[in-house]
Amino acid sequence: MAEFKIALIPGDGIGPEIVSGAKVVLDAAAKKFGHSFNYTQVDMGGCAIDKYGVPLPEETIKTCMESDSVLLGAVGGPKWDSVPAEKRPETGLLGIRKALGLYANLRPSILKPQLAAASPLKSEKLVSGLDIMVVRELTGGIYFGKKQRAEDGSWASDEEKYSVEEIRRIGKIAFETAMLRKKRVVSVDKANVLESSRLWRFVMTELAKDYPEVTLSHMYVDNAAMQLAINPAQFDVIVTSNIFGDILSDLSSAIAGSIGMLPSSSLGENKRGMYEPIHGSAPDIAGLDIANPIATIISAAMMLRMSFGLIEEADAIEAAVDKVLDEGYRTADIMSEGMEKVGTKKMAELISERL
């Protein structure tokens, strides 16, 4: 019997509903395989601003540091759009990544055969076997660079800055991920314009010498976006900077049919990670029991596999998701003709039962 401490951050909007759904599935897996998952729920994002006046309380950081991993729902919403930049809900997200040293974000985009009709790319040739892993640098670049704004509001600037070590460590994760897949890496940059991208390309090229089995190619970000839209199956592993990864991973997820289906993991030097769906807080549907919990449930499965080493348990959860989809159950975002529509709670219950 294995015991693990999990910090739960439900967050805002639909966050509490989808995290609750994932917890139902985790509890079913724990019961089936004889494990013990001990949860501690903490606040971050808009709900923390409402309670404590800050998006990331110190107690939340402390609890996450003392946990084996973190499962996050979603943060933010228009309610907090007018608060100062340093106190926005998203600042809490950046802060917890920095505090936990989570510099690598892995976002798989996999189009399940059951959901092929949900992809905006209707050509089966384009999306058949779609399986892309976006490896995004998470704690550097323009999001964390120096920010300035004129007192009179006439100009503003954000600094894009990367060190060799920051680029090298994210590149290493990308190459090692590729070694477990099809051994192809596309490094995305804007080296024709940005000095930081020229350094990025140089470091990736040098690093590739350590992985002779992996084929490295380079692509400008604008071309990468176009290629994802017209021929996504050409990609295996994409590695890129914080801002480019933020954009391209959302595009790759849309191609896969629904952002409600796709998980992500944020990792650092040790096994503790933070796992979350890639979608936002969707406050317009919060509390209506219609949000898709599958991305959060698969994120929990990633946590079991990547941080806890529970491979069989993770496989079982993913197989249960496939079984429920095979049986024709759908939440509203992936609904198609002839399927049976279910809500957030029911979808989580069905998956837990199939375990």
Q: Name which of 324, 326, 331 is nearest 355 in CA terms.
A: 324
Cβ-based burial of 5 (10 A; exposed 0-12, middle 13-18, buried ≥19)? middle
Q: What is the spatial distance between Cα 40 and Cα 125, in angstroms, rounded to a whole number?
A: 45
Q: Is the pLDDT of residue 347 over 90?
A: yes
Q: What pLDDT is stored for residue 131 in this prediction?
A: 87
Q: What pLDDT is stored for residue 253 in this prediction?
A: 79
DSSP strand pairing (184-189 vs 215-220): parallel
Q: Which residues are catalytic?
A: 143, 190, 222, 246, 250
Q: What is the spatial distance between Cα 42 and Cα 300, in angstroms, rounded to a whole number?
A: 17
Cα–Cα distances in Å, from 31 out to 119, 268, 353? 35, 29, 12
Q: Name which of 19, 88, 100 is nearest 48 in CA terms.
A: 88
- 147-172 pLDDT, tens digit per residue, is 999 999 999 999 999 999 999 999 99
Calculate mean pLDDT across residues 84-89. 86
- 281-320 pLDDT, tens digit per residue, is 999 999 999 999 999 999 999 999 999 999 999 999 999 9
Summary mean pLDDT of the chain: 93
Q: Is the pLDDT of residue 197 over 70?
A: yes
Q: What pLDDT is stored for residue 230 in this prediction?
A: 87
Proportion of the chain above pLDDT 70, given as a percent? 95
Calculate mean pLDDT across residues 11-19. 97
Q: What is the spatial distance between Cα 9 and Cα 299, in angstroms, rounded to a whole number?
A: 13
Question: Model's pTM, two decimal places?
Answer: 0.85
- 117-143 pLDDT, tens digit per residue, is 666 665 555 556 688 999 999 999 999
Q: What pLDDT is stored for residue 337 in this prediction?
A: 84
Q: What is the spatial distance between Cα 151 and Cα 323, in angstroms, rounded to a whole number?
A: 58
pLDDT bucket at 258, cuts 50 / 70 / 90: low
Proportion of the chain above pLDDT 90, given as a percent? 81
Q: Is the pLDDT of residue 108 over 80?
A: yes
Q: What is the spatial distance between Cα 111 and Cα 131, in angstroms, rounded to a whole number?
A: 7
Per the listing, tokens 């729902």 go with 73
DSSP secondary structure string, 89-132?
HHHHHHHHHHHTT--EEEEEEE--GGGGGGSS---HHHHTT-EE
Q: What pLDDT is stored for residue 278 in this prediction?
A: 85
Calculate mean pLDDT across residues 265-276. 93
Q: Is the pLDDT of residue 213 over 60?
A: yes
Q: What is the spatial distance between Cα 118 and Cα 42, in angstroms, rounded to a whole number?
A: 35
Q: Cβ of 231: how many Cβ atoms within 10 Å?
A: 13
- 48-77 pLDDT, tens digit per residue, is 999 999 999 999 999 999 999 999 999 999
